[in-house]
């Protein structure tokens, strides 16, 4: 039986120190990536690592995910493995004996987290649209060098598929597709 922590922040620059501070943990899994989907290495590792009798501590529900379907699926998958899931800020525990009220709060809070994410995206899109109208929007910062982009394109010209290029370059599939189909 292990006490496991899961910590997530949205960007590399954000600090994880406040989450699970003071909780005695045997193992911690951390992601510095958006919570809008399940494609996070720390979460994947947690799901593989957690065993019957373990307790997973999460600072608050939105740290697990900002997608109601993912929150429910992740909690259910862990509980099905006989793992207890504890959301500290909300004071909710799921171990297979959740009451109707607990499930209601889980869904309500997960819905609110998803709503917050969608409102943030809408505000960002509106800000970008207005900046473009004023002619001041320059786009996001350039993340990948011309050399990396050319390497990806060269593999494609050689007949490699996107997933093969991903395995070779260690770039994400989304990045490979962006370079191949959107970046000039």
pLDDT tens-digit series, residues 6-31: 999 988 778 888 899 889 999 999 99
Answer whether residue 66 shows pLDDT above 80. yes
Bridge partners, 93 (sequence order)? 86
Quick one: pLDDT at residue 136? 82
pLDDT at 183 exceeding the cut of 70: no
The active-site residue, picked from 10, 36, 65, 145, is 10
Angle, CA of 66, 72 and 74, to the nearest 5°: 85
In this structure, CATH architecture of domain 3-109: 3-Layer(aba) Sandwich (3.40)
Is 65 tagged catalytic? no
Q: Structure tokens of 14?
A: 């954000």
> What's the mean per-residue pLDDT of the chain?
88
Q: What is the model's pTM?
A: 0.67
């Amino acid at each position: 039986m292990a006490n496991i922590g899961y910590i997530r922040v949205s960007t590399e620059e954000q600090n994880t120190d406040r989450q699970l501070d003071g909780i005695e943990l045997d193992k911690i899994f951390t992601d510095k990536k958006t919570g809008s989907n399940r494609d996070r290495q720390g979460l994947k590792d947690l799901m593989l690592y957690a065993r019957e009798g373990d307790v997973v501590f999460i600072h608050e529900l939105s740290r697990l995910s900002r997608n109601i379907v993912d929150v429910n699926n992740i909690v259910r998958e862990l509980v099905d493995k006989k793992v207890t899931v504890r959301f500290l800020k909300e004071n909710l525990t799921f171990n297979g004996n959740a009451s109707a009220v607990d499930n209601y709060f889980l869904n309500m809070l997960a819905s609110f987290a998803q709503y917050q994410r969608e409102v943030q995206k809408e505000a960002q899109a509106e800000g970008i649209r207005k900046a473009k109208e004023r002619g001041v929007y320059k786009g996001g910062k350039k993340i990948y060098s011309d050399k990396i982009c050319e390497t990806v394109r060269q593999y494609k010209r050689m007949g490699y598929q996107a997933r093969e290029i991903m395995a070779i370059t260690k770039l994400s599939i989304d990045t490979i597709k962006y370079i191949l189909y959107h970046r000039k």
